[in-house]
Structure 1
Amino acid sequence: MRRVVRESIGLIGFRMTLRYLAIYLLSYKPFSDKSYDRQHETDTGGMVPTSELDIEDEATKWQSNLYLGSPARVTRHLVRSLDISCADYSFIDYGSGKGRALFVAAEFPFKKVIGVEISQALHRVAETNLAKFRGKTSSEIELWRGNALDYELPSGNLVLHMYHPFGPDVLKLVLEHIQRAAEEEPGRKILIPYLFSIGVAKAVFREYPAFRLVRDELCVNNLYRWTLYEYKPAGS
């Protein structure tokens, strides 16, 4: 429990940790937290259930998880914890939704920040939000709409951010897609910070040993528990 509290303080701060330890005594709910949007006059919050996602293919739809924007503090903590030179990496957010993780990541000097989102409705909201950040970020932001399996990863080192965006079947296919791209460009670094790291997702990663677990950070709120994986094929 001490480890959970210690790592929670690092991830979400002392005050928010106390909130969760008090079992939502202050009634904090991540989907009703409007602090980021009030500050930036954007619409990145709320929760969009899977049933309301405008995805035509039913099989794909039900392997897509609901949209819930992660708190800006959490994204900043994840990026800082990577201990990398951001200028040497591109940041890609799978299931980028309304774009909050992108806008926060763009506070850091990545080569490029890219959102991959299958929902047309969420993509349009992200486009509207993006217009308010033009010229105000340290990184260029791109929005790409479509199936993650059709997205061609850029060359060079990558940070592939995932906030539990897929069901296990699609996650397997996405990891295979990433692995093929990595094999086509040997030597580059690929890091995957996976937020809301639950057992189902971890089980999928274990099936692909080239994605090696680097760290597993706990939080009193499991929504913000995260695991860092690094692509390292055998012999590297």
Structure 2
Amino acid sequence: MGRVSVEKLGLDNSESIEYASVSYRHIIEMLNRIPVDKSKSTLLDYGCGKGRVLVIASADRFKRIIGVEISRLISTARENIHGMRHRETEDVVLEQCDAAEYDIPLDVNIIFFFNPFRGSTLISVVEKIRSSYEKSPRDIFIIFFNNDHFEKAIISHHWLSKIYQSDFHHNISCGLYRTFPYGKN
């Protein structure tokens, strides 16, 4: 596990944040807080790293799971997904690309972040989420671990509301956000 510096990831974007993984327990707790039928849900993990969230979600029956990662860690994520023995979700897609350039599919209704980037990259991703929401109004739930940068990025976005906040440890917080019903924001 451990941490991997931005330099060792081969990234030169000053807005990228080092790789670290979140505990299985915290991921499961937050995914279980979302009131959706997982078999009809598509989960998108931004900065999927080595694929821990993808593996946990794949053990459940989601309609589809997408991982977006810019670094070379995506090859480890692919190995981890392909090596699973008790996978319930067959449709798992990994995209190696810049998150700010990734167009969110219109069926995505759960988005997971473990603090992968900040600044203009995060602002661009928030705009991509909003664009997807406007094209196809739906409930979208966003899980954001260590959400202080996210809070700043969405301060003027009244189409999102925080519905839960947890401080798992002194250095790990998590916010759960939900889109407002379309047309009421």
TM-score over 0.5 for the pair: yes
Structure 2 residue 69 is matched with structure 1 residue 113: no
1:77 corresponds to which letter in structure 2? Answer: E
Aligned to 1:67: 19
> 1:227, CA displacement in angstroms?
0.5
- Say whether the 8 Å CA contact 2:44–2:108 is kept in structure 1: no
User: Within 2, Cα distance between the matches of 1:88 and 1:110?
Assistant: 6
For structure 1, which runs of at least 5 residues remain unmatched after alignment? Answer: 1-44
Do 1:96 and 1:116's aligned partners in 2 also have CA atoms closer than 8 Å? yes
Mapped partners of 1:230, 1:125: distance in 2: 31
Distance 1:73 1:90 in 2: 21
Greater strand percent: which structure? 2
Q: Which moved more, 1:73-82 or 1:146-155?
A: 146-155
Query: What is the number of equivalent residue pairs in this alignment?
Result: 183
Once the two structures are superposed, the pairs formed by residues 95-110 of structure 1 within 5 Å of their partners are 95-110=47-62
Letter of the aligned partner of 2:131 in structure 1? R
2:51 and 2:179 map into 1 onto residues whose CA distance is 25
Runs of 5+ in structure 2 lacking a partner? none
Q: CA deviation at 1:163?
A: 0.6
Give the Cα separation in 2 of the matches to 1:145 and 1:182: 23
* Percent identity between the two aligned chains: 25
Asked if 1:197 corresponds to 2:153, the answer is no
Residues 124-160 of structure 1, C-alpha deviation per residue, up to 9 Å, x if partnerless? Answer: 1112222211x62111222111011222222225100
- Deviations for 1:171-213, whole angstroms, at most 9, x for unmatched residues? 1110011111111112x21110111122x32121212221111
What residue number does 2:2 align with?
Answer: 46
- 1:207 aligns with 156
Greater share of residues in helix: 1
The partner residue of 1:92 within 44, 47, 52 is 44
Give the whole-Å Cα distance in 1 for the aligned partners of 2:10 and 2:109: 29
Which residue of structure 1 lines up, in the alignment, with residue 175 of structure 2? 227
TM norm structure 2: 0.91
After TM superposition, give the deviation of residue 234 of structure 1 in Å. 5.0
Provide the rounded CA distance (Å) in 1 between the counterparts of 2:98 and 2:159.
Answer: 23
Structure 1 contact 191–229 (Cα < 8 Å) conserved: yes
Rounded to whole Å, the distance in 1 between the matches of 2:2 and 2:18 is 11
Instruction: Output the CA distance in 1 between the equivalents of 2:24 and 2:103.
Output: 27
Q: Distance in 2 between matches of 1:215 and 1:72?
A: 19
For the residues of structure 2 that align with 1:109 and 1:154, how far apart are their CA atoms? 19
Q: CA deviation at 1:102?
A: 0.7
Calculate the TM-score normalised by the size of structure 1: 0.72
Please report how far the alpha carbon of residue 168 of structure 1 lies from its aligned counterpart in structure 2 after TM superposition.
2.4
Is the Cα–Cα contact under 8 Å of residues 75 and 105 in structure 1 kept in the other structure?
A: no
